[in-house]
Amino acid sequence: MRLWFFPDLGLALSVFALLYCLLVFDGSRKLFRDSDSGWHIRTGEMILATGSLPRADPYSFTRQGQPWLAWEWGADVLMGAVHGTFGLSGVAFVFAAAIAAGVWLWFRLHWAVHGDFLLACLMISPMLSTTNLHWLARPHVFSWLFLLAALIVAERAPGRFRAWHGILIAAFVAAWANLHASFFFAPFIALVYGAGAALRPMLWNGERGGGGRRALWFLWAAGCALLGSLVNPYGWQLHRHIAAYLGDTGLLARVGEFQSFNFHVGGSWQILLTVGLAGCGTVLAILRGRLDHFLLGALLIALGLRSARGLPVVALALLPLANGAITEALRRASGLRQGLAAWRDKYFAYTGRLREIDARMCGLAWAPVVLLLAFVALRAPAVAARTGFPPDEFPVEAAAFVEKLPASARLLAPDKYGGYLIYRFEGRRKVFMDGRSDFYGLEFMKRYIDLVELRAGWREAMDSFRFSHALLPKNYALVPALEREGWKRLHADPTSVLLEK
């Protein structure tokens, strides 16, 4: 009998994650610690107001009118619609709820790979500590849900491909492609699982039958996923744009979130634990004949070590797979001392009973109640008043003085400020640049870095852009350099300085 009013482990810990995000993590502010949220919201509102996608840059004075792909337009529209009705509190709620839904799916993946109940409980801490590196009000959070769903489908794939399988897969990936650029994971996962199914009988003795049929299923699934990804406003141009962006190593080397994570910072031991567990599971995957898990693990760990942006993906995708691998390795371990083997058998008998009880529970009837309470809490006047971009990171106070500048002012501000200024002035005041690194390109980024870091030629760059004002973080070396050049302060606060030429 299904117990709809008794939450299972996945739902209980997804509620915990929701509360942790909003209360401990201070999600009403920290979800907005990346200013890209600003231009995503305003782009969505623009699309809703005009009924069409922007084809040229509407935000900068340096590249205004240049062709631009709003490649995450679906997420932009969702963010814009929520913001238009509920403000930033609504946006924070949507992303906190998405993070909680990701935790629920994460546990579904543990059960799909037959992971151990208590080991899944132990893994929740490093998973949350790793994913909150990128708990941001940005479209990639939605992509985590699609990634987990794709892996669950891959683990439970039937042997024979049906037409309706292809339709559902294509529709699923079409939705993914219009929300976030990581949709390429869908055909990639299908091909990796297909390769594992096809090669397993060739590499291990005793593996007969079913491999070819499953490999064919995944091949069809990859084809349907690829076709579904073409259902977007840009067609194959979207794929070409993403490939060009991710292949531009010179540009990515200058974008902070694509840099390697610093494992020496305080509190990073849980992230290191995540990588270690993922690596352990990846090695054990080969020993248990799961070539698909090995390939997926090796590639995702390499991605995570190369780019901090990939670490949350490692935590979400590989910790459940590691649970399944470790559990099976312990179950099959031979040659143990009699007492240790007996203890192991009792442990798995106990956790197996826990999982049986948990499988009977659901508790989804409580989900709407919890979400409603979280929404009401975020809308409370005291909470809503402090929801938004953190004033210790963004020029919230200085924006009142920027508003008084003439409309023709050419304001130098770093990319970190650009998205906030787009949000604050609803796109009316054009910015120097923002976080759309794929749009501005490598050469522009080089000039920008030379300028803010006072490298050779920075004065020529200042003259070429014809800046009249500058809004800079107070600790930038460019601030005293401009003052030595005769620029005067219009405003200064603990976060930023506004200068006039």
Residue in this structure with the two tokens 């090796």, named with its chain if needed: 298
147 pLDDT exceeds 70? Answer: yes
Residues in the chain: 501
Task: Look at residue 194 and tell me whether its pLDDT is greater than 60.
Answer: yes
Is the pLDDT reported for residue 301 higher than 60? yes
Phi, then psi, of 19 in degrees rounded to 5 = -65, -40
Confidence of residue 212 (pLDDT cuts 50, 70, 90): confident
88-135, pLDDT tens digit by residue? 999 999 999 999 999 999 999 999 999 999 999 999 999 999 999 999
Q: Supply the DSSP string of 301-323, one letter for each residue.
A: HHHHHH-GGGHHHHHHHHHHHHH
Residue 363, pLDDT > 90, answer no
158 or 78, which is more confident:
78
Instruction: Give the model's confidence band at 3: pLDDT under 50 very low, under 70 low, under 90 confident, else very high.
Output: confident
Distances (CA, A) of 349 to 60, 324, 363, 369: 62, 16, 25, 35
pLDDT at residue 210, as a whole number: 59
pLDDT band at 213 (very low <50, low <70, confident <90, very high): confident
* Mean pLDDT, the chain, integer: 95
For the cut 70, the answer to whether the pLDDT of residue 2 exceeds it is: no
Q: Quick one: residue 454, left, alpha or beta (phi over 0 = left, psi -120 to 50 = alpha)?
A: left
pLDDT at position 166, please? 95
Residue 1 has pLDDT above 70, yes or no: no
Q: How far apart are CA 348 and CA 331, in angstroms?
A: 8
Buried b (16+ CB within 10 A) or exposed e, 33-63: bbbbbbbbbbbbbbbeeeeebbeebbbbbbb
Provide the token pair at 112.
Answer: 């799909």
pLDDT in tens, 274-288: 999 999 999 999 988
Q: Residue 151: which of 16, 324, 23, 28 has the closest Cα?
A: 324
Percent of the chain with pLDDT over 70: 99
Q: For the chain, what percent of residues have pLDDT higher than 90?
A: 90
Own/partner pairs, 236-242, CB within 8 angstroms, 24+ separation:
237/69, 238/69, 238/71, 238/177, 238/181, 239/184, 241/69, 241/71, 241/438, 242/71, 242/181, 242/184
Residues near 448 by Cβ (< 8 Å), separated by ≥ 6?
415, 433, 440
Section 42-59 average pLDDT = 97
From CA 469, how far away is CA 485, in angstroms rounded? 13
- Which tens digits make up the pLDDT trace of 312-341? 999 999 999 999 999 999 999 888 899 999
Residue 420 to residue 434: CA distance in whole angstroms:
9
Cα angle 481-485-487, degrees, rounded to a multiple of 5: 95
Query: What's the confidence (pLDDT) of residue 159?
Result: 77
CA atoms within 13 A on the CB side of 179: 19
Of 207-221, 442-456, 483-497, the range with the lowest mean pLDDT is 207-221
The yes-or-no verdict on residue 208 having pLDDT over 70 is no
Residue 209, pLDDT > 70, answer no
The tokens of 373 are what?
A: 């309470």
Give residue-wise pLDDT tens across range 446-458.
999 999 999 999 9
Contact predicate 411/431, CB 8 Å: yes
Taking the C-alpha atoms of residue 329 and residue 115, their distance in angstroms, rounded to an integer, is: 11
Residue 307: pLDDT band with limits 50, 70, 90? very high
pLDDT-derived band at 485 (thresholds 50, 70, 90) equals very high
In b/e form, how buried is each residue of 197-217, taking b as 16+ CB within 10 angstroms? bbbbbeeeeeeeeebeebbbb
Question: Pairing state of beta strands 361-362 and 3-7?
Answer: parallel
**Residues in Cβ contact with 26 at an 8 Å cutoff, skipping those fewer than 6 apart:** none
Contact residues for 409 (Cβ-Cβ < 8 A; gap 6+): 429, 468, 469
pLDDT (mean) for 249-272: 92
What DSSP string runs through 177-207? HTT-GGGGHHHHHHHHHHHHHHHHHHHSTT-
CA distances 412 to 43, 395, 428, 458, 473, Å, are 22, 13, 16, 13, 11
